């Protein structure tokens, strides 16, 4: 009877499947953003890819939130599930916002500092993509999950430094001669920094889940 009852319950692993699907869309968007920042003739195509990935991610987020409401058993706290998927979605939403700014100001080329921040976004996304499947066995993977969270924090620290140096370089080049170029550049730098910040939020959510479940 108990076995039959368990079969009737929603499967817990559907959450992990959805988390992994979402992390793949985030990874795809991060790679597209990095490619976009290289400039060149494919810039608009990369922008379109990010918009598409963001739309897919929104759909997956809705599925997760619906599953939280419908599931009798969840792999860990419902609030943690919602916070984790929302933090992941915030990262890709911020990439989409960056695309909107780039399109608004019709930017076609980007500073080396921006490109370095694009590489940092990819690195953070790769770390999150590695961490997500490990949540399926938190106890066995607790050490690696904690290490990944620390690595994301280090990436965010490097991104802060790139952001600050980028603003200094912008001001030296454009501060007095071309204020609009400085404003546009600083806005793009700021949004790239926020993308990496959102990945740190994901890492913090993962750390919290590990602490609560080990």
pLDDT tier at 3, thresholds 50, 70, 90: very low
Res 2: pLDDT: 36
What's the rounded Cα separation, in Å, for the pair 45 and 40? 10
* pLDDT band (50, 70, 90) for residue 176: confident
CB under 8 Å to 83, separation ≥6 — which residues? 205, 208
Q: What is the CA radius of gyration of the chain?
A: 19
Cβ neighbourhood burial of 161 (10 Å; 0-12, 13-18, 19+): exposed
Please give the Cα distance from 136 to 90 (Å, whole number): 22
* 52 vs 180: CA distance, rounded Å: 30
Amino acid 214: pLDDT: 83
Per-residue pLDDT tens digits for 80-133 = 999 999 999 999 999 999 999 999 999 999 999 999 999 999 999 999 999 999
Indicate the pTM of the whole model: 0.92
pLDDT at 33 over 80: yes
H-state helical runs in the chain: 2-8, 13-36, 43-70, 78-104, 112-134, 138-174, 179-213
Contact 105, 53 (CB under 8 A): no
Q: How far is CA 101 from the centre of its chain?
A: 18
Distances in whole angstroms, Cα of residue 142 to Cα of each of 50, 116, 150, 153, 211:
32, 30, 12, 17, 9
Tell me the pLDDT of the chain averaged across its residues: 93
Instruction: Give tens-digit pLDDT for 34-75.
Output: 999 999 999 999 999 999 999 999 999 999 999 999 888 888
Handedness of CA 177, 183, 184, 188 (dihedral sign): positive
Question: According to the model, what pLDDT value does residue 12 have?
Answer: 58
Taken in order of first residue, the domains within the chain and their CATH numbers are: 12-213 (1.20.58.220)
More confident site: 4 or 20 = 20
**Cβ atoms of 125 and 95 closer than 8 Å:** no
Distance CA 205, CA 180 (A): 38
**CA separation for the pair 175, 155 (Å, rounded):** 28
């Amino acid at each position: 009877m108990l076995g039959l009852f368990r079969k009737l319950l929603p499967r817990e692993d559907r959450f992990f499947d959805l988390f992994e699907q979402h992390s793949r869309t985030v990874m795809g968007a991060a790679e597209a953003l990095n490619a976009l920042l290289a400039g060149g003739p494919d810039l608009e195509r990369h922008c379109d890819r990010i918009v598409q990935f963001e739309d897919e991610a929104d759909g997956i987020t809705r599925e997760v939130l619906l599953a939280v409401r419908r599931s009798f058993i969840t792999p860990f706290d419902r609030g943690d599930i919602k916070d984790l998927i929302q933090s992941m979605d915030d990262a890709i939403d911020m990439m989409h916002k960056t695309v909107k700014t780039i399109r608004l100001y019709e930017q076609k080329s980007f500073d080396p500092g921006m490109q370095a921040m694009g590489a940092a976004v990819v690195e953070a996304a790769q770390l999150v993509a590695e961490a997500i499947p490990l949540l399926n066995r938190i106890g066995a993977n607790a050490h690696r999950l904690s290490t990944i969270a620390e690595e994301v924090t280090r990436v965010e620290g490097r991104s802060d430094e790139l952001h600050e140096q980028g603003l200094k370089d912008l001001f030296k080049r454009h501060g007095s001669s071309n204020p609009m170029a400085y404003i546009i550049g600083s806005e793009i730098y700021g949004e790239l920094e926020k993308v990496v910040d959102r990945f740190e939020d994901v890492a913090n959510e993962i750390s919290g889940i590990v602490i609560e479940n080990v």
